[in-house]
Amino acid sequence: MKYSIFLIVAPMAMAFLVPFLGHVMPALSKGLSFLTALAGTVLSVFLLITYKTPFTVIMGGWIPPFGINLHVDMLSLLFATVVYGAVTLGIAFQLSSVVVKKPYFYMLILLLLTSLNGMILTGDLFNLFVFMEIAGISSWALIASGNKTAGVRGALQYMVVASLASVAYLAAIAIIYSSTGTLNMAQISGGLREMNSAMAALAVLLILASLFTEMEIFPFNSWVGSAYRGAPSSISGLLSSAVALAGAYAMLRISYIVFGAGMGNIIRFGSFNITSILFWMGVVTVVTGEASAFTQKDAKRMLAWSSVGQMGMILMAIAIASEKSIYGAVFALITHSISKLLLFMIVGRLVSATGTSDWTRWKGIGRKNSILGIFFIIGALGVTGIPLFAGFWGKFTIIGSAFKSTGSSYLGVYIILAATVMEAVYFLRLAHALFEEPERKPGKVNTGIVFWTCTTLLALAVVIIGVFPAPLDRKIKKIPSELRGDNTSGYISTVYKAMGR
């Protein structure tokens, strides 16, 4: 299992090599970028198949808190596999596009891949900060590389918000380090409740502000519409399927490890505590995200705000903090990544074919490109969570966990159901436009074998997971017990064992 380090090292090494090769053999540098991502996907799948128990990799032989450890468990392997798969398909999609990107574009994608896997595997808060910064800088540059003015505008909006979030996170870990003397997540676990209450509350709020930005949670998501709209479609897909996924992972890991099982007691105002903050911010995010998506005529903005609504539902599940809600959150995150990447690929090709992202001007294009229209419907059904499609199982489990939880969490059920209806309506409107009688003869969409391979794999995944969820179900069922530190297979005990304690 020591090979897990290559999930970070390999794309980083290739990222530095690509610019040099690009001056001499541009095609080779792009091909190597794809092969690096593909090799990482194969490695992550191999690690996932052969996985037995959680393990910790001590970097350079330096025991924390003096060194850094990587933690590998079912959660990190599943998410690393999804990230690698999404980036591999994203690179393939971009290579098949009529818009030719220079080698530096693929260098930035590899840096993004490195940073996202670093965020997923690291067990150190400062190391997480470094990887978040690399992910942010890579994302800004990739967003700015598309659609000229719109790309730059979207990148600047994201940069401003993300920079403020970085300052907040850095201030938080400075407070934690000054009080605990370590930034190792396992060693900090539960220690926040032993800190000065005001300082602990400040550190928690600063961390949450930073992670809310990564997860696209209201009101830290003002950048979302412009960034997704201005970015190349391949990057919009990765923002939704990989970047938001890594941000949600960080929220899961920090909520249950750093804040600990009693995180609700860190900040408390009567009956209102930190879990209440997470839950109701999730509710507001679902409402604002889906309402914004409903009003959009721009397809890329619609998908962007749809992702915001999905992240709000995930935050609600994290706040409920039961084994079922954790299971549902992980399942929903994985299936959302698959479905939304499929949708962005299809929308990207439609934008290229029509010259506009206004879906009201796509009337009838699905009649001449029927498989494309069917794949869009499959992706939409997957995101909406209709039975027999991938998104159903995660959403169904989150609803069930909300019903069984105490307090006002049951209200989340009605919010999620209302959001599902709203999702169905705006996706149905777009699907109807695709197959509506056109005002003029629609043009043919440029596809090709690479595009069809990518979209077919994703569409099949949405259907297969929906009909046969058992293989993924068996993997995800291990996560709640491994995520918590109160058992022998949990995160904290595994790290301490590797440290010789």
310 contacts 415 by C-beta, under 8 angstroms = no
What is the value of pTM for the model shown? Answer: 0.89
**What is the identity of the amino acid at 357?**
S
From CA 170, how far away is CA 166, in angstroms rounded?
A: 6
Q: pLDDT in tens for each of the 501 residues of the chain? A: 567 788 888 888 888 888 888 777 777 888 888 899 999 999 999 988 888 877 777 776 777 667 777 888 888 899 999 999 999 999 998 888 767 778 888 889 999 999 999 999 888 888 889 999 999 899 888 888 867 787 788 888 888 888 898 899 999 889 888 887 778 787 777 666 677 777 877 888 888 888 888 888 888 888 888 888 888 888 888 988 898 899 899 888 888 887 765 455 555 544 556 777 788 888 889 889 988 999 888 888 999 999 998 899 898 888 887 888 888 999 999 999 999 999 999 988 888 878 788 888 888 787 778 888 899 999 999 988 888 898 889 888 888 888 877 666 677 778 888 888 888 899 988 988 888 877 666 666 777 888 889 999 999 999 999 999 888 888 888 888 777 655 545 677 666 666 666
Pairing of strands 268-269, 55-58: unpaired
Phi, psi dihedral angles at 210 (to 5 degrees): -65, -45
Compute how many other C-beta atoms are within 10 angstroms of the C-beta atom of residue 499: 17
**What is the identity of the amino acid at 120?**
I
Give pLDDT, residue 272. 55
DSSP codes joined into one string, 366-403: HHHSHHHHHHHHHHHHHHHT-TTSTHHHHHHHHHHHHH
In three-state secondary structure terms, 443 is coil
Q: How far is CA 442 from CA 353, 357, 374, 437, 439, in A?
A: 9, 15, 17, 10, 9
Give pLDDT, residue 355. 79
Compute how many other C-beta atoms are within 10 angstroms of the C-beta atom of residue 62: 11
**What is the identity of the amino acid at 484?**
R
- Helix (H) or strand (E) holding 157, with range, is helix 149-180
Q: What is the CA radius of gyration of the chain?
A: 22
